[in-house]
Structure 1
Amino acid sequence: MMRIQEIWSAALGVFLLALPSFVFAQDILTVKTPKQSTDFTLEELQALPQAVVVTANDYVEPPAAFQGPLLRALLEISEIDRDAELKMIALNDFASTVPAADAFDYDVILAVLRDGETMPVREKGPIWVIYPMDDNPELRGEIYNDRLVWQLREIVVE
């Protein structure tokens, strides 16, 4: 009987040690086109070339350093052209329609880090769509504020 308890204890220990790996490798973003659906983990997003945008917006003051892949890079991977409309959907089902042209005209990023730290859900993470507002004054306005989707979970080509 003692042997079975030892085996179960060892198995539980291995499972608990491996658990962070399973949690860390979860899909956090889905990109859907008429042809395909692609899921990305945090690690996969961080493996893409990274850009840093230092900016303030209506939700962040003073400016913060946001880091993540360019939205344009994900659109290119998914073969989405600049004429597409993107429905950006948050974890709470908030949605905003964004012209793909924004990603080709500006360095819009899918921020996964803020000031070098990952962003938990309660702090607008794990992904926040960030426009380079400080570098492009024409982006300061209600229309672009509505495109700053935080807690992004899905991009659907419409």
Structure 2
Amino acid sequence: MKRHLLIAAPALVLALAGCSGGQDQQAEGGQLPTAINQGTGTPPADPTPVESRTQGAAPGNAGEAEVKFTKCENTKSGVQMEAEITNTTKEKRIYIVTGLAYDDSKKSVASAALMSDPLDAGASAKVSGKSTSAVKTKGDLTCEASDINSMPQS
């Protein structure tokens, strides 16, 4: 029994020491490394907060697609958004669009993600998305794209 304890104790110490080696390495000055956008080598840009975005402003990455909203309706379970996305690039891409709903006072009141299957260059698709909850507002809502993200597909 004592032999097993003499063998198990050093093995346990080594195992515990090995577990602590997986911690993140800190850069000079005690800072953790900054995330880098995959493939670009640049730090990610800070997204524009919804509250400070001006209605009618060009969406982020607007050169990747054209987005036209065809429905913006406040329902009991959330704001229903429908849009048509057109691939304006020369390659097949998949899209994720962030849609924002604005009330009559041009205040953003809801958001939803609208996603497409891969679209060939020049192709269009109808997409839809819904916010997670209904909003209390008087009057009609206006929806528009605040950001367009896409990824090449092969």
TM bucket by the smaller chain?
under 0.3
TM-score by length of 1: 0.27
Greater C-alpha radius of gyration = 2
The structure in which a higher percent of residues are helix is 1
TM-score by length of 2: 0.27
